[in-house]
Structure 1
Amino acid sequence: MTTKTSYVSKSVEKLKPSGIRKFFDLAAGMEGVISLGVGEPDFVTSWTVREAAILSLEQGYTSYTANAGLFDLRKRIADYMNSRYQLFYDPSDEIIVTVGASQALDISLRALVDQGDEVIIVEPGFVSYVPLVELAGGVAVTVKTRPENGFNLTAEELEAAITDKTKAILLCSPNNPTGSVLEKDDLMELADVIKRHDLAVLSDEIYSELAYDADHVSIASLEGMRERTIVINGFSKGFAMTGWRLGYICAPVEIAQALLKIHQYAMMCASTPAQFAAIEALDKGMEDVTEMKRSYRHRRHYFVDSLNEIGLECHTPGGAFYAFPSIRKTGLSSEEFAERLLLEEKVAVVPGNVFGKGGEGFVRCSYASSMEQLQEAVKRLKRFVENHSN
């Protein structure tokens, strides 16, 4: 009797492990490491938010919610989207509460993509985008952005990437890893191309509360874009709730109901206590969001200015909490730089190439660390750059 060499699907076998995890694992085994690699706030979830989750448990709310999530939470999300971004979604059938923005991305791509459909991905871009497109049966078409444009996609670059197989484009603003922000004029130019080619849009807006220099604009709010856009957001970054794993989708009813079919089979519903916590976050947590944003803005100025002073050229990110400096002056590749910096100076950063080929020659540094840690990291980076400059 012959046996198969592997029972694992070919599509999964071809997937590469996340490049971010490699450096987290290396750093975890070392003492005295300053980590600039973690993509999460260094703030603890507000006490009132935590207390709301505890109260929900004490009151016995431990069963499933509706597949789409608690209606009270969906209503508050609708109010939030309307007041914050001038977008109205019906909480009864156009909003779905998900297990983080990651699950929202996954089911959105599975709902949109047929075998062989092309999805345009902006690079540098978050590590999960290309694998999720491929797992959905699609083809990821990557478009490399340039630092001289602030790593923002231009209408001309988008136009050049579109073929007769293009189904959708995935945008992330503010961007992970570059911190770039698409402002209204940028979005309007992209929207003209998108409408002309009748594309769907997945708009990852998980960092929307962390836009520093201009108010966040959702592409769905532009004329003719709501009906073709899936807005993905959540509580992880803006509300310091990464471990709660709570995101949401806002989309036109036809698309939202298609997404709900996948969600109800794959996940049933998001965590009940987390949903009660999110209600409290939207009701009473905005002051904490504002304070966190103010702190990150201050750290951004210090850290980006310091990187430029020590010779690591870095554009000023408009949002999120990442700096994306060029390390080309060292003559090292992104992975060499990250590995040697960790081993020689005990500073953990993420090599830019894990965010796509467009990230080679850069590293991602999170400034969601204390000022004390950032100051010490800058000292170590300065020493490392002096020792490795060409």
Structure 2
Amino acid sequence: MASFCVRPNGILQYDLCFYGRRFRESAGLPDTPENRRKVRKNLRRINAEWEMGTFDYAAWFPRSRKREAAQRWLRERGSRVPGRRFAAYADEWYGLHAGGWKASYARQVRSAIDRYLIPHFGDWPLDAINERAVRAFRQALIDAVDQEGQRRLSNARINFILTPLSGILRFAERELGITHPMTELQPLRDDPHDPMPLTAEEVNAFLATVDPRYRLYFKLRFYTGLRSCEVNGLKVGYLDLERRQLRVREALVDGRQTTLKHRKARRDVPLSPGLAGELRAHVAGKVSDAYVFCRADGRPLAASWVAETLWAPTLDALGLERRRVYQTRHTAAVLHLAAGENPLFVSRLLGHSSTKMLFERYAPFVANALADDGSRFERMMNGGPDGSGSGEQTAGVGNSMVFETAAQ
């Protein structure tokens, strides 16, 4: 329990005794009646928190040199399962679950455990990890900045780091009967970046400027919206050029050929006659198990290599703002919608589970969705041209004509 005393220099001091060990902390206040009342008030709170099991030494004495030793002592003596440490239990949990995951996901979970969770919670008894401890850990991840003062970790990344922590503690709850401390912890809000699609004119300029050896690679990405892992892992055997389509069945992730992440990602992507013809010439003489696209030395394409060696330099050469290679996918979505394609077709082309994302993410980038919103209906009701016949052409159709020209 907690009490106070007066040091020889006349400064008030907290006198704390937990599990038979004594800790003294200076109140930093001279011994006066008013300061004694303040210290007694704090002592009542400390003792109440101790009784309720919510006392946090670091919160009360954040600058104390005894803080780490005191916290470790409280964790050790207060645990009902002192022999079950987080690090060893996390390794056991991973071994029991990794076999049911995709290899790429298992590597990501292992990395989060080794890089973030074990360094922080490694020697903690499992039941010492309470909600306060988890919130403090999360806040430390939020506050971490680089040399330029920018956050090191996004909200999405932090949420992912906490996912295996929640899984480990939920498993411990079922197996050891400890309380799962994260039931009231909501994920951090993840505000996705706005799409930065290229216009049809910028697509044409990009294809005219990029290294000619990889022009068809980017053309396929701009026209079909394939993800990096899908196009990098595309093999010749998945091209059905007689039917002018390619089958998305595998992906290249972290240098390993693997199955697709989601069921909807498995799809057949239609190809225009011109694109099918270019692909036929490109893969002539290649065996079915060969990659459609690879580096000049025969090595498979890696997303980072494509971004650093091809994508970014070409954007710089054109004076375009830098953006992720993933914007080829956003570009395909926007230009197909602007061309008047059926949203259901576009959704299936991209491997989305529904058309909801199309309308929520891409509508503002389709010219007709903003610049001419509602006016075609008004013209129809007034007996004027609706933009679908020989009347004025909509902005969306104008974009599609440029895009179609590039496809031929």
Give the TM-score normalised by the residue count of structure 2. 0.20
Q: Is the helix fraction higher in 1 or 2?
A: 2
Q: Taking structure 1 as the reference length, what is the TM-score of the superposition?
A: 0.20
Which protein, 1 or 2, shows the higher relative CO under an 8 Å CA cutoff with sep ≥ 6? Answer: 1
